[in-house]
Every structure is written in C-alpha cells, then in structure tokens.
Amino acid sequence: MIKPDAVRAGDSGLILDQIIRSGFEIKALKLVQLSQKEAEAFYAVHCERPFYGSLVEFMTSGPVVAAILEKENAVEAYRTLIGSTNPENAAEGTIRKRFASSIQNNAVHGSDSDENAEIECSFFFNHFERV
Ligand code: GDP
C-alpha cells in the first residue's frame, strides 16, 4: 500500500516505478479511500498501541494505492526494498528513506508474512480485480 502522505505528495508514480524496477510484478492495483472502520480493521493488531488512534486518523486522511505484488520471496524482498519502519533508520535508497517523513507517515505499507499478505490481498481485492 502507498499511504496517504505519499499519495498526497504525488510520489505514487515514482514509488511504483521503484517497485517494478526492483523486479516485482503488479497483480492488482487501485486507488481507494479507507473508512475509519476499514482502517481500524486493517490495523486491528495494533489496537492496544498508544499510536493506534493517530495511525487510523492518518490512514483515513486521504486515498491510498493498494497493490498486490508478486516476486520470489516477495515479503522479505519488499520489506528490504521499503526499509525500516522509522525512515531515520532506513537504509539509503530504500522507499521509506526516499519518501517517508516520520515513523507514522512512512509512505508505504508491506505485509509481514505470506499469511498476512493473503489476508490483506483479500481485504482490498475481489477475484475479478486480481490477475
Ligand atoms: P511496519 O510493518 O514497518 O509498517 O511497522 P509496524 O507493523 O510496526 O507498524 C504499523 C504502522 O504503524 C507503521 O508503518 C507506522 O505507520 C505506524 N507506527 C509504527 N510505530 C509507530 C510509532 O511509534 N508511532 C506512530 N505514531 N506510528 C507508528
């Protein structure tokens, strides 16, 4: 997912370009506005964290670009490509280093396991929207 900060900044194209050039194939793609309920559900795992309310507010502050990406060992490869959660700690050249402004407004989301990737793919896309 490209988060509202990066969509607002006009960085969606450059981010998708970096993802594609890094060898990922786009299997689904769309621009969507998350409702409060949808953002709360998407980040339910963080509901006890002090930043949950702020995160939900941020994630509903504008549209996001949702995508399904395919590559060998995709979860690990994509997390390497995006860099650390906090852009201050992200490696040079990573998407978060290039485009993120804070630990919360960090430009992109990535699934943390194959199992969660499948859940998150189904959250955003029905089977007509996936190739
Ligand atoms: P990720 O897997 O790298 O996205 O990181 P996490 O799963 O730990 O956190 C989910 C998202 O919550 C992050 O991408 C940030 O947008 C946000 N987040 C994480 N830690 C913090 C924090 O300490 N403060 C705030 N405000 N947001 C955070």
**What are the pLDDT digits (tens) for 61-118?**
999 999 999 999 999 999 999 999 999 999 999 999 999 999 999 999 999 999 999 9
Average pLDDT value for residue range 33-54: 98
Tokens of 56: 């939900």
pTM for this predicted structure: 0.98
**CATH classification at residue 114:** 3.30.70.141
Whether 109 is catalytic:
yes
Whole-number Å distance, alpha carbon 125 to ligand 1 midpoint, is 23
Q: For ligand 1, atom 3, which residue shows the shortest CA distance? A: 85
Q: The domain containing residue 106 runs over which residues?
A: 4-126
Catalytic residue among 104, 109, 116, 129: 109
Q: What is the CA radius of gyration of the chain?
A: 14
Whole-number Å distance, alpha carbon 90 to ligand 1 midpoint, is 13
pLDDT in tens, 4-30: 999 999 999 999 999 999 999 999 999
Assess if residue 94 is contained within a domain: yes
Assess if residue 131 is contained within a domain: no
Whole-number Å distance, alpha carbon 104 to ligand 1 midpoint, is 6
Q: What total number of domains does the chain contain? A: 1
Bridge partner residues of 28 (DSSP) = 68
